Amino acid sequence: MVKPSKRVEEFEKMGFGMFVHWGLYSQLGRGEWTYYHHIRDMNEYKKLKDTFTAEDFNAEEMVLTAKKAGCKYITLTTRHHEGFSLYDTCGLSVFDAPHSPCGRDLVREFVDACNKYDIVPFFYHTTLDWYNKDYVNDFETYLEYLRKSVEILCTNYGKIGGLWFDGNWNKPDDDWKLDELYGTIRKHQPEAMIINNTGLGARGEICHPEIDSVTFEQGRPTPLNREKMSKYVSAEMCYTLNDHWGIGYSDFNYKSPKELVECLCDCRKVGANLLLNIGPGPQGNIIPMQRELLSIIGDWMNIFGEAIYEGKPYESHSIGKNFILKGDGCLYIFCYDLGPEGMKDVIVGGKYKGVYAFSGIKDKVKSIKWLDNKEELDFAQDGENLMVNFTGSPYGTSYLVRVAKAVTV
């Protein structure tokens, strides 16, 4: 099978990233598609620029929130479908942050903060545009505007992790001149990842030979069949904390830490990255609920992160959701739903503890310990079958997914 390039390998190793959807729409608090669903009048909508101060946007705080959660990269919406750029478009358009009361280049602040704290900056960039009339009236001219916009992002901010495009699905039959767009990136940022969101309906699709990673939107990613691929592409799944990408004040449907941690593990099971989204408030403040959810994931990552970063897909079988990843001289055994153990009149949990069987284990196991408290686990290996006795989570803990490390010969 084809081997991943260095950039793809590094991308896969990062494993977990933070997505940020923030733009003029955030001032209305009803999702990033509010123009399309509620307004449909750009003369009206563009007034949001006049009240955009970004006074609560603190790039360092955002980067540290991601870092604390265990994210290694952040993908920021430098321009979303509304057409407003958080960066200085250098004269290409007046619909950008420097021309708003904010008067700053927010992408510059973002990149500086990323570099300071060793987080890799990625740029989300829309291809669909509700503001630029050429998108509808003169597509060729629009594509040149898009290409120049991307060129600015590739030349003004130092080394970036990659570009994340979104919107081609809006004009599926048009020629997007991708050779030129992607060629511009390769010219200025040869090591940057090129990602294009193929949309909800086209999960895991490769739309162009330059694409480095396919996308999955919401749910769970499926394993990629790389046998017929001429080049190795990675996979990334993006996921909302509730039901919208841009902040929705009346969207109460937040996911639980259990769902989020399980999702991260399920992504890694098939070798995909998880890109978990936050939607900051009107002027860039991070919403407390979103910060808290990320911080719980961070607490979990502090204990089990090694398995998330180091573990690679491993062909083996198990009953239920449990699975194994391969690390360097070891296996990581992911165990779901153990629940806390304790006095039976007090604690409801621990019901799934006990012996679990795995098959297809080609490595010889020497010892197995929980990653958290290093307790040794009893096991037996018979050929490719491995039986492990999972003790429950000790009283006082409940790990959602608990990971054991098996040292192999």
Q: Are 326 and 314 in contact (CB under 8 A)?
A: yes
Q: Which CB, 27 or 381, lies closer to ligand GLC?
A: 27
List binders of ligand GLC among 5-24 (CB under 6 A).
21
Q: For residues 62 and 33, what is the distance between their CA atoms, to the nearest angstrom?
A: 23
At its nearest, how many Å lie between ligand GLC and the CB of residue 391?
Answer: 40
- Residue from 87, 245, 390, 399 binding ligand GLC (CB under 6 A): 245
Q: For residues 217 and 164, what is the distance between their CA atoms, to the nearest angstrom?
A: 13
At its nearest, how many Å lie between ligand GLC and the CB of residue 245?
Answer: 5
Q: Which CB, 33 or 139, lies closer to ligand GLC?
A: 33
At its nearest, how many Å lie between ligand GLC and the CB of residue 275?
Answer: 8
List binders of ligand GLC among 100-159 (CB under 6 A).
none
Q: Tell the residue number behind the tokens 């994931």, with chain if given.
A: 297
**Strand spans (E) along 260-364:** 273-278, 312-313, 317-318, 323-327, 330-336, 354-359
Concatenating the DSSP letter of every residue in 87-107 gives S--TTS-S-BGGGSTT-S-HH
The count of chain residues that interact with ligand GLC, using the rule CB under 6 A, is 9
Q: Which CB, 199 or 204, lies closer to ligand GLC?
A: 199
Phi and psi angles of residue 339, each rounded to the nearest 5 degrees, phi first? 70, 160
Look up residue 372 and give its two tokens: 């958290």
The residue type of 402 is R
- Residue from 88, 109, 166, 236 binding ligand GLC (CB under 6 A): 166
Q: For residues 101 and 81, what is the distance between their CA atoms, to the nearest angstrom?
A: 21
Q: Which CB, 34 or 184, lies closer to ligand GLC?
A: 34
Residue 24 burial (C-beta neighbours within 10 Å; 0-12, 13-18, 19+): buried
At its nearest, how many Å lie between ligand GLC and the CB of residue 33?
Answer: 6
Q: Which CB, 238 or 365, lies closer to ligand GLC?
A: 238
Q: For residues 133 and 42, what is the distance between their CA atoms, to the nearest angstrom?
A: 10
217 lines the binding site for ligand GLC (CB under 6 A): yes
Q: Which CB, 80 or 108, lies closer to ligand GLC?
A: 80
Q: For residues 347 and 393, what is the distance between their CA atoms, to the nearest angstrom?
A: 11
At its nearest, how many Å lie between ligand GLC and the CB of residue 193?
Answer: 15
At its nearest, how many Å lie between ligand GLC and the CB of residue 82?
Answer: 10
Q: For residues 251 and 244, what is the distance between their CA atoms, to the nearest angstrom?
A: 7
List binders of ligand GLC among 314-373 (CB under 6 A).
none
Q: Which CB, 66 or 238, lies closer to ligand GLC?
A: 238
At its nearest, how many Å lie between ligand GLC and the CB of residue 36?
Answer: 9
Give Dmax over CA atoms of the chain in angstroms: 71
C-alpha dist (Å) from residue 213 to 19, 59, 382: 16, 26, 38
At its nearest, how many Å lie between ligand GLC and the CB of residue 238?
Answer: 5
The residue type of 333 is I
At its nearest, how many Å lie between ligand GLC and the CB of residue 404?
Answer: 34
| Window 82-101: contact mask with ligand GLC (x via CB under 6 A) | --------------------
Helix (H) or strand (E) holding 404: strand 401-408
Q: Which CB, 164 or 336, lies closer to ligand GLC?
A: 164
At its nearest, how many Å lie between ligand GLC and the CB of residue 94?
Answer: 23
How crowded is residue 91: how many other Cβ atoms within 10 Å of its Cβ? 9
Q: Which CB, 199 or 340, lies closer to ligand GLC?
A: 199
What residues are paired with 334 via a beta bridge? Answer: 323, 403
Q: Which CB, 32 or 262, lies closer to ligand GLC?
A: 32
Q: For residues 399 and 305, what is the distance between their CA atoms, to the nearest angstrom?
A: 13
Query: Which SS3 state, helix, strand or coil, does residue 152 take?
Result: helix
At its nearest, how many Å lie between ligand GLC and the CB of residue 80?
Answer: 6
Q: Which CB, 22 or 332, lies closer to ligand GLC?
A: 22
Q: Output the CA torsion 157→161→166→171 (10° steps).
A: 90
Residues binding ligand GLC (CB under 6 A)? 21, 32-33, 166, 197, 199, 217, 238, 245
